[in-house]
Structure 1
Amino acid sequence: MIPSQRANAAYQAGAMTVPPLHAVVMLYDGILVRIRNAGIAAGQNDWARQYEEVSRAVELLRGLLSVLDYERGGDVARGLHQTYHANITALMRSVGRSEAHEMYRRIESGLRELRNAWAEIAGVPESNPSEAAEGK
């Protein structure tokens, strides 16, 4: 199974056990953890782990991308499509770069805002960077 199919399958499985909006928030949480881990790996010059964490974050973003409903979502879905693609590109370009940690901080900040917007809609608590650092 290719990574995007795995991500889509994970989303579909999650959607069967939790409300769909909660599944979206959980996917964002997973992405944020992976980005934080990639930053830690970059700081340790552990390029293999950095690449693995970035790849996992990208896989989750592709999962979110694959379930966008352009008919019902209209401009919002198109905007999310562009945002996900831009983040995927930025993440893939970050591996091994000296400024990777700063790149991850900016990417994480933007995605956390999106995550918290979805969380508000879903009625789940917001997250903050200190919680992500603690692995919550």
Structure 2
Amino acid sequence: MYGNTQEGYGEYYQSDMAAQVAAATPHQLVLMLFTGLTDELVRAKSHIEAKRYERKAQSINKCIDILNALTSALDYEKGGELAKNLANLYDYCVYRLYDGSNNLSVSAIEEVETILGELREGWDEMGKRHG
């Protein structure tokens, strides 16, 4: 009984998420990626603390996939120096996540959380000015 309920929720969540993505502006998509990334970073830290190393690896990989998606979404032509700086920050975050994963370092993941938190604030602010 629970399996079906959980499966039904998963299907609902995915279709709801698909609807949100389809209706989102590029700015909203970036914020959705940041939200997913932040949530996954919290999971990765808890997996390290609970010694769930396989799940930690899955969480870190999801984080890196999201960072790669953010990097590939950058418009270097229109964004110029800002886009290059963001790409460098995302690359640094990927490096720190690999390092944190290999060394089971919660502090490396927290460093990435801090960087991304500041970037998120910038995206939020930009949305308020242009929204």
Q: What's the TM-score bracket when you normalise by the shorter of the two chains?
A: 0.7 to 0.9
Distance 2:102 2:81 in 1: 35
Distance 1:72 1:27 in 2: 21
Question: Cα distance, 1:20 vs. partner?
Answer: 1.1
TM-score, structure 2 normalization: 0.78
Question: Cα distance, 1:113 vs. partner?
Answer: 0.8
Counting only pairs closer than 5 Å after superposition, residues 113-132 of structure 1 correspond to structure 2 as 113-123=118-128
Q: Are positions 1:111 and 2:107 aligned together?
A: no
Higher relative contact order (CA 8 A, sep 6+): 1
TM-score, structure 1 normalization: 0.76
* Bigger fraction of residues in helix: 2
Amino acid at match of 1:41: H
Distance 1:101 1:92 in 2: 12
SS of equivalent to 2:103: coil
Corresponding residue number in structure 1 for 2:106: 101
Of all paired residues, the percent bearing the same amino acid is 25
Give CA-to-partner distance per residue, 1:68-123, whole Å, 9 cap, x none.
Answer: 1111000000000100111111111211424x111111110110110111012123
Amino acid at match of 1:42: I
Corresponding residue number in structure 1 for 2:23: 17
In structure 1, runs of 5+ residues without a counterpart are 1-9, 124-136
Distance 2:45 2:76 in 1: 33
SS of equivalent to 1:102: helix
Larger Rg: 2
Q: How many positions carry a matched residue from both structures?
A: 110
In structure 2, runs of 5+ residues without a counterpart are 1-16
Question: Cα distance, 1:66 vs. partner?
Answer: 0.6
RMSD of aligned residue pairs (Cα, Å) = 1.6
Kept in 2: contact 1:47–1:96 (CA 8 A): no
